[in-house]
Amino acid sequence: MTSAGRRGLVVRLSLDRGDPLDVTLEAFDKAKLGVGDALAPKRMRQLLDLDADVRVRDAALNLLSYRAQTRRELERKLRARGHDADRIEVCLDRLQNRGLLDDAAVSAAFVRDRLRHRPRGRQALRAELRGKGVDANTAEHVVMDVFQDEGVTDRALAEEVAERWVTRQGSAVLAALLAQRSDPDHARAQRRLRGYLGRRGFRGEDLRAGVARAEALAAERSR
């Protein structure tokens, strides 16, 4: 008998011994089995191998249908679902050869989305891509290319991030930011701002430019 479920069409095989066996119809067809055929051990292993291949591929395609993912992200999720590591690698190679897995394209889309909605400096963006399993060389080139295409710099982004930070602060924090350097509240406000910028990948001159922009905007708001 056959039945359709979340994972597609499956065939339930009634065996002479043991419980019935559910396999994908695709695997059943590839094994060239028919009703009443004997399932010798060798043929059973072939059927189960085919079924496992179909299931890992379908699981991968299902995950990709929700959003584009890096190869490493997809591998982690498939492993978490209990699929065999070697079988996953073969599946991912096939998907990559078909153009369904492209770390560079996924990374570029991710960086562009970050720049538009949650700006980060180059360092933070490279780190995020590395966390997604993107190799260092690809991460470096993707960030460089997207920054060039978008016409942005770390300094401009640091100033933008600092501006957003200022708009979310209350009057007390902004007043502290403009207070005398000897004022403890000033030191706390500076630490908060610098920490915020630092966690978003800004360092050195770029971070200082962000702080200067925040102070200038705070001064404008206090007038």
Coil/strand/helix, residue 19: coil
**Is the CB of residue 180 less than 8 Å from the CB of residue 186?**
yes
DSSP state of 153: -
- E-strand spans in the chain? 2-5, 8-13, 21-24
Say what the pLDDT of residue 12 is: 77
Gap between the Cα atoms of 219 and 217, Å rounded: 5
Say what the pLDDT of residue 4 is: 36
Say what the pLDDT of residue 2 is: 37
* Residue ranges in the chain whose pLDDT is less than 70: 1-8, 14, 16-19, 34-39
User: Which amino acid does the sequence have at 70?
Assistant: T
Gap between the Cα atoms of 22 and 11, Å rounded: 6
Say what the pLDDT of residue 135 is: 95
- Beta strands at 8-13 and 21-24: parallel, antiparallel or unpaired: antiparallel
Gap between the Cα atoms of 182 and 157, Å rounded: 29
Say what the pLDDT of residue 37 is: 67
Token pair belonging to 12: 């339930």
**Is the CB of residue 31 less than 8 Å from the CB of residue 44?**
no
Q: Which of 74, 137, 146, 83 lies closest to 109 in space, CA to CA?
A: 146
Sign of CA dihedral 101, 107, 110, 112: negative
CB atoms near residue 14 (< 10 Å): 10
pLDDT in tens, 173-207: 999 998 888 889 999 999 999 999 999 999 999 99
**Is the CB of residue 153 less than 8 Å from the CB of residue 147?**
yes
What does residue 161 show for φ and ψ, rounded to 5 degrees?
A: -65, -40
Gap between the Cα atoms of 141 and 149, Å rounded: 12
Say what the pLDDT of residue 222 is: 75
